[in-house]
């Protein structure tokens, strides 16, 4: 992508050069379009649940940018020689159920035959241009709030071996099918400096994007991290997805780990997430109020997990 010559357009608010969650294009002084797409292979066996997870994940970028999703298009890669069309129908029904919940209109989609099943959505939303939230903009004195628990990558890895307890599985699915809509709406009532959602790069990967090379230190309180049931135990047993190690390699030069931090926690912060929560940076004095409001909407895992301070270089610290 870096070799592509993209024409300049002053109506582009957030484009390809920004490494942000979605693209944003100004239509008028009052309206900007948010556009995003995402699709992936199944993380669970049940096709209806997979459809739900994929669409919740796809809508998340719009909420992270401060907007509201309006329309969606299905993206399907389907191995017709391996699965019946009933499977595809259930996936699409699961996805549609989430779109209805979110008040998003399905306009159509596109499918191709492929050796591996994949599903997701492209999404269009709107936001006022002056209200666009970026994944950078941290300020000295900020606190960072996380709205969902970590551990979907590790639980998903264990699930492939059939070793996940039913109660662990239920929470694993519930967190992934929970829309970030409520979190997005609650945070609009606050002075948010930066926001992103936690997905494949893991917590530390997305915090590094929020740092954006600024001379700041983000100190993560590992004791306050919300975790899925079983995630820490499985991490301590070495049940680690390959993507976690890639994330460590990607971010490692920025990271320091204080003495006494448990190994499983220093692994979990790199765990690649599916349909993760929002990371919201705002003045520390307002952070507890935001958490209280999030909890009142049902987001009971919301926590203040980190603080931001001036530093001589960009730095991520696990405490």
Would the pLDDT of 68 be above 70?
yes
110-135: per-residue pLDDT in tens?
999 999 999 999 999 999 999 999 99
Cβ atoms of residues 64 and 185 within 8 Å: no
How many other C-beta atoms can be found within 10 angstroms of the C-beta atom of residue 27?
Answer: 11
Distances (CA, A) of 255 to 211, 232, 248, 282, 315: 12, 20, 9, 22, 6
Cβ atoms of residues 112 and 76 within 8 Å: yes
Q: Where are the domains of the chain?
A: 12-131, 142-318
Q: Which residues contact 307 (CB under 8 A, 6 or more apart)?
A: 142, 143, 144, 218, 219, 221, 284
223-273: per-residue pLDDT in tens?
999 999 999 999 999 999 999 999 999 998 899 999 999 999 999 999 999
Task: State the angle between helix axes of 202-211 and 242-251 in degrees (0 to 180), rounded to the nearest 10.
Answer: 30
The reply to whether 142-318 shares the fold of 12-131 is: no
Name the CATH topology of 142-318.
Phosphoribosyl-aminoimidazole Synthetase; Chain A, domain 2 (3.90.650)
Closest-CA residue to 312 (of 214, 220, 221): 214
Of the chain, the end-to-end C-alpha distance in Å amounts to 36
**Phi, psi angle pair for 24, to nearest 5°:** -130, 130
Mean model confidence pLDDT for the chain:
96
292-306: per-residue pLDDT in tens?
999 999 999 999 999
Mean pLDDT within 73-77: 98
Which 8-state DSSP code applies to residue 57? H
Q: Give the model's pLDDT for residue 161.
A: 86
Q: Please state the length of the chain.
A: 319
Would the pLDDT of 1 be above 70?
no
Residues 12-131, CATH architecture: 2-Layer Sandwich (3.30)
Q: Give the model's pLDDT for residue 5.
A: 82
Would the pLDDT of 155 be above 90?
yes
């Amino acid at each position: 992508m870096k070799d592509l010559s993209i024409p300049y357009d002053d109506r582009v608010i957030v484009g390809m050069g920004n490494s942000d969650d979605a693209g944003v294009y100004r239509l008028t002084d009052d309206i900007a379009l948010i556009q995003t797409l995402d699709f992936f292979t199944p993380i669970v066996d049940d096709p209806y649940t997979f459809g739900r997870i994929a669409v919740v994940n796809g809508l998340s970028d719009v909420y992270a940018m401060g907007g509201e999703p309006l329309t969606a298009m299905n993206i399907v890669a389907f191995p017709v020689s391996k699965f019946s069309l009933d499977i595809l129908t259930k996936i699409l029904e699961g996805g549609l159920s989430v779109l209805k919940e979110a008040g998003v209109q399905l306009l159509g989609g596109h499918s191709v035959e492929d050796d591996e099943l994949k599903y997701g959505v492209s999404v269009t939303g709107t936001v006022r241009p002056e209200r666009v939230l970026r994944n950078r903009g941290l300020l000295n004195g900020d606190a960072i709030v996380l709205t969902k628990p970590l551990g979907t990558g590790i639980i998903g890895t264990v699930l492939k071996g059939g070793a996940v307890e039913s109660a662990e599985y239920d929470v694993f699915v519930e967190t992934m099918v929970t829309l970030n809509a409520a979190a997005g709406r609650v945070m609009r009532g606050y002075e948010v400096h930066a926001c992103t959602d936690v997905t494949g790069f893991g917590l530390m990967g997305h915090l590094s994007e929020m740092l954006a090379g600024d001379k700041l230190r983000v100190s993560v309180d590992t004791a306050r991290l919300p975790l899925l049931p079983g995630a820490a135990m499985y991490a301590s047993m070495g049940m680690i997805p390959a993507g976690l190690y890639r994330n460590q390699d990607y971010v490692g030069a920025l990271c320091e780990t204080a003495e006494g931090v448990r190994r499983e926690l220093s692994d979990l912060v790199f765990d690649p997430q599916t349909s993760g929560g929002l990371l919201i940076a705002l003045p520390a004095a307002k952070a507890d109020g935001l958490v209280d409001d999030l909890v009142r909407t049902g987001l009971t895992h919301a926590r203040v997990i980190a603080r931001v301070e001036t530093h001589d270089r960009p730095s991520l610290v696990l405490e």
